[in-house]
Amino acid sequence: MTRYQLPELEYDYNELEPVIYADIMRVHHGKHHQGYVNNLNKALENFQEAQSRGDLAKMMVLQKAVHFNAGGHINHSLFWENLAPASRGGGGEPQGDLLLLIKNEFGSFEAFIEKFSALTVAVQGSGWGWLGYDKEKNRVDIMTCFNQDLLQEKGLIPLLCIDVWEHAYYLQYKNLRADFVKKIWDIINWKKVAERLGQAATGK
């Protein structure tokens, strides 16, 4: 059976400062994400065991733990990749097809940032803000998800996500989620987001 593992980051914990302090990264990646990975492996193991016994009720109960922890692992893995230190390409504006699709949908890059930020800050409780790609219509859209639900469950391919669970910002920004979302644009890895769009559009 596949054992899932915590992905290594392409930057050090302190390299996203001052937008995200090293302390947050240490806890967020090293503890929270590791926790999702550990719990996912455990839940899958128990699920398989229940399956081998044909215990359908137990499987249904365990499915919730699989869903939650797999979502946590998948979403965080995407999140780390779509961040980059400002000194190494983070921030700025997207280019090419990505910028074109954003402009088609929202009018301008600035209008997109404003709408994405407003919707993401407004997530009730814990969740994520997303930019996703609708392949059928060849357009991008902003959506929010609760807890560790996947954007894929809403029929979109994930391009960019921002984690607005309190563990993502509380140590540094306290209750000011809006300040965190305002600053995070300085470390968005638009190159990675564009790469995902390219893969989504060509179906690879």
Interface residues toward Mn ion, by CB under 5 A: 163, 165, 168
Nearer to Mn ion, 41 or 77 (CB): 77
Looking at beta carbons only, is 8 or 136 nearer to Mn ion? 8
Q: How far is the CB of 74 from Mn ion (least distance, A)?
A: 12
Nearer to Mn ion, 50 or 168 (CB): 168
CB 52 to Mn ion: min, Å: 33
Least Cβ distance, residue 134 to Mn ion (angstroms)? 25
Nearer to Mn ion, 15 or 163 (CB): 163
Alpha-carbon span 69 to 93, nearest angstrom: 32
Q: Name the closest residue to Mn ion (Cβ).
A: 163
Structure tokens at 136: 């059928």
CB of 106 to Mn ion, least distance (A): 26
**Phi and psi at residue 124, in whole multiples of 5°?**
-85, 125
Q: Angle formed by the axes of helices 96-106 and 190-202, to 10°? A: 90
